[in-house]
Structure 1
Amino acid sequence: MIGKILNTQNINYSSNLNGDNLKQKIQDIFEKNHLSFVGKFTSQSRFSAADKWTYIKWYVPNFKRKTAYLNGEIIKTGKGTLIKLNLKPNPVVSIFPALTILIGLILIIVAEVNKDNATTLNFGLILIAVGISFYLFGMFLRNRLLNNFKKNLDLQKV
């Protein structure tokens, strides 16, 4: 439930390549400069990737600036190789929709209790609309990274 609210996605893909060949193919993809994402291996079988688009242009220490993030793990199985992916948009794009929708609902409840505050009701509805649009924007950013990653690897969903 929390994953849906924060717009994260966990997907498993299978590959017909063995583990070493798949790792080399992913490494080769990460070394290409013309792609819309960048990545690196963080351990022997784990890797991370991020979209090249940035959400915030200026540098802020300890603050994630990319629009979407992907963490993956290569697992060797008896039938082939499995890739476990965890995708999420920028934390700001994940948390902002939940907060604005919650604040919008609170404002609508306050407007209904007061019965005469149309401005509060309208502002609450606007906040809910903004929250929904940011949630959809986060889905777009997450799916953009996933589609660009899948396109370069020829993966089949498990």
Structure 2
Amino acid sequence: MIDKILNIKELNYASSLNGDNLKQKIEDLFERPAISFFGNFTSQTEFAAYDKLSVISWYVPNFKRKSAYLKGEILKSGKGTLIKLNIRPNTMLSVASIVSVLVGIIILIAAGSSTRFLIVGSFFILVGILYYSFGIFSRNRLRTNFEKTLDLHKV
């Protein structure tokens, strides 16, 4: 349930390459400057990537600023090589959208017949919907770019 609220997607892909060749292809991919994401290997079989697009432009220590994040693992199976991906938008996009919608609903309930409060409450709900939509867009953008660049097929 929390995965759906936070827009987290877990996907599996099959590759015709063996584990070492796939790892080399992903490493070469991360070194290309023309793609829309950065990444690196965190261990022998695990890697992380993130979108170049930033949600927050200022630096805050221990705070993630990119719009979407991807964690992957290369697994060997009997049929070939599998890539297990966990893709999510920036957590702040999901949390801020939920908080914004809740605040908007509370304002609408408390507004009664006051036009000003109805407008303010509607604005908060609209901002929440826009944040949530941007999170979905960011997550899908990173997934699509990663799929196209590596020519992956879902299992």
Report the TM-score when normalising by structure 1.
Answer: 0.92
Separation in structure 2 between the aligned mates of residue 80 and residue 110 of structure 1, nearest angstrom? 59
Residue 146 of structure 1 corresponds to which residue in structure 2?
A: 143
- Partner secondary structure for residue 86 of structure 1: strand
Separation in structure 2 between the aligned mates of residue 153 and residue 43 of structure 1, nearest angstrom? 19
- Partner secondary structure for residue 144 of structure 1: helix
Alignment size in residue pairs = 155
Residue 125 of structure 2 corresponds to which residue in structure 1?
A: 128
Residue 10 of structure 2 corresponds to which residue in structure 1?
A: 10
Gaps of 5+ in 1: none
Tell me the alpha carbon deviations over residues 71-96 of structure 1, each in whole angstroms, 9 at most, x when there is no partner: 01111110111111111111221211
Give matches, 1:2-81, under 5 Å.
2-81=2-81
Separation in structure 2 between the aligned mates of residue 16 and residue 43 of structure 1, nearest angstrom? 22
- Partner secondary structure for residue 38 of structure 1: strand
Deviation, 1:50, is 0.6
The 4+ residue runs of structure 1 with deviation greater than 3 A are: none
**RMSD across aligned positions (CA):** 1.3
Separation in structure 1 between the aligned mates of residue 105 and residue 13 of structure 2, nearest angstrom? 38
Separation in structure 1 between the aligned mates of residue 88 and residue 14 of structure 2, nearest angstrom? 20
- Partner secondary structure for residue 23 of structure 1: helix
Q: Percent identical across equivalent pairs?
A: 57
Residue 89 of structure 1 corresponds to which residue in structure 2?
A: 89
Gaps of 5+ in 2: none
